[in-house]
Amino acid sequence: MSDAFVTPEEPSAAEAIAAIGDELGVFDDWMDRYQFIIELGRKLPPFPDAWMNDAHRVPGCQSKVWMEAVLRDGRLYLGGLSDAAIVSGLIALLLRVYSGRAPDEIVATDPVFLKDLGLLEALSTNRGNGIAAMARKIRELAAHQQAA
């Protein structure tokens, strides 16, 4: 799929979380981790300009954040972008965990992993609230698909 949506690298959300934990664990300090996260954001699939509008905005984020989702073959694929480099990286982490999964798996995957990986503590309060808002939005989209 060469489009705006992220295709999962790992077979499950749990395995994606474990892989992210291993990758972040390679770095000794947060500056290196931030650089790694920013690089992940740069590798996100191109997000169409047409989606950078209020209909795609994620409320509760200090930076501008846009997301889109599509259901294909019973799996929810997600795309996203931010006007802030570090936030695009955080989107990349979230999409690696949640995109391309069945709605049931998305809803069942609590974003507590962000805290477990030390990401929330390392971010400013506003960024922490923003990433929580993004995770909430993703899980709401999945819950909506379950109900459909």
Give residue limits of the domains in the chain.
13-147
Give the class (CATH, top level) of 13-147: alpha beta
Residue 18 identity: A
pLDDT over 90, % of the chain: 75
Specify the range with the lowest mean pLDDT, choosing from 20-34, 98-112, 114-128: 114-128
- Predicted confidence (pLDDT) at residue 2 exceeds the cutoff of 80: no
pLDDT of 141 reads: 92
The answer to whether 7 and 83 have CB atoms below 8 angstroms apart is no
| Mean pLDDT over each residue of the chain, to the nearest integer | 92
pLDDT of 40 reads: 96
Distance separating alpha carbons of residues 148 and 140, to the nearest angstrom: 12
pLDDT of 129 reads: 84
Distance separating alpha carbons of residues 1 and 131, to the nearest angstrom: 26
Mean pLDDT of 108-137: 87
Helix ranges (H only) for 26-84 are 30-42
pTM summary value? 0.93
Mean pLDDT of 16-27: 96
Decide if 57 is catalytic. Answer: no
CB-based burial label for 141 (10 Å; 0-12, 13-18, 19+): buried
- Predicted confidence (pLDDT) at residue 53 exceeds the cutoff of 90: yes
Candidate list 20, 61, 91, 117, residue with the active-site label: 61
